[in-house]
Amino acid sequence: MRLQRLEEVLDANLELVRRGLVLHTFGNASAVSREEKLVVIKPSGVSYDEMKPANLVVTDLDGKIVEGELNPSSGLPTHLVLYRAFPNIGGVAHTHSEYATAWAQACRSIPCFGTTHADYFHGPIPVTSVMKDEEIASDYEKNTGQAIVQAFEHVNHAAIPAVLVANHGPFTWGPTPKAAAHNAVILESVARMAYFTLQINQRVEPIGRELHAKHYLRKHGSNAYYGQTRKGN
Ligand SMILES: [Zn+2]
């Protein structure tokens, strides 16, 4: 595994900490190399202050360790399910960030109340079903991944790169580990704002389809025009 990819994954993990999304060691970010059929993830239980690129763990798509001395993060099987089910993603992040986790614990999807949400997520942030006892008793982490995949049966994972696992917390993804971590940061902000919005007005409605589409589509897709996209600038 190239050092650059290890550094990218380390940086995505540290970004979650820098942004205050990770309490203690409750969080992890990973990347997949589709060509090499390898995944890089944070090691289990190592303090972030001491984490070096060489401490990261490289596994195959079945979770077998290929490089690294340490055990991978216990969340690895969830990430592996997502990499299989969502073939175009390159990175996954998981945190217990407070506001997104509060929505997950309340088993409520996050409605789109404004354009910050609409800029990043083309619809409400789905929440998974509550996992059954037998899904928790064995292969818990893998079944967590299955619950996420199920929540996206009728939802486009590329247009809504985030989910709330019921009673647990958020997972986000993107084309790179950096994008996955960035989406985790935005999700926490959106979750926080949605919470306050409902405090101020309990009868507030989600924004309309037109405004939502306007904001999402000006940043994403073939007709995007937001930012510096003109050639020659
Ligand atoms: Zn967790």
- pLDDT, tens digit, for every residue of 82-92? 999 999 999 99
Centroid of ligand 1 to alpha carbon of 203 (angstroms): 31
**Residue 133: active-site member:** no
pLDDT for residue 226: 67
Q: CA-CA distance, 165 to 115, in Å (whole number)?
A: 24
Structure tokens at 154: 């009728």
Give the distance (Å) from ligand 1 centre to CA of residue 227: 34
CA-based R_g, the chain, Å: 18
Catalytic residue chosen out of the listed positions 60, 139, 140, 226: 226
Element housing 174 (H / E): strand 169-174
pLDDT score, position 227: 66
The yes-or-no answer on residue 119 being catalytic is yes
pLDDT at residue 208, rounded to an integer = 87
Out of 11, 48, 119, 195, the active site residue is 119
First to last CA, the chain: 36
CA of 226 from ligand 1 middle (Å) equals 34
Burial of 146 by CB count in 10 Å (0-12 exposed, 13-18 middle, 19+ buried)? middle
pLDDT score, position 221 = 73
Distance 128 CA to ligand 1 centre (A): 14
Q: Which residues of the chain have pLDDT under 70?
A: 226-233
CA of 142 to the centre of ligand 1 (A): 13
Residue 233: the pLDDT is 38
> What is the predicted pLDDT for the residue at 232?
42
Q: Give 168 Cα–ligand 1 centroid separation in angstroms.
A: 6
Helix (H, G, I), strand (E, B) or coil at 170: strand
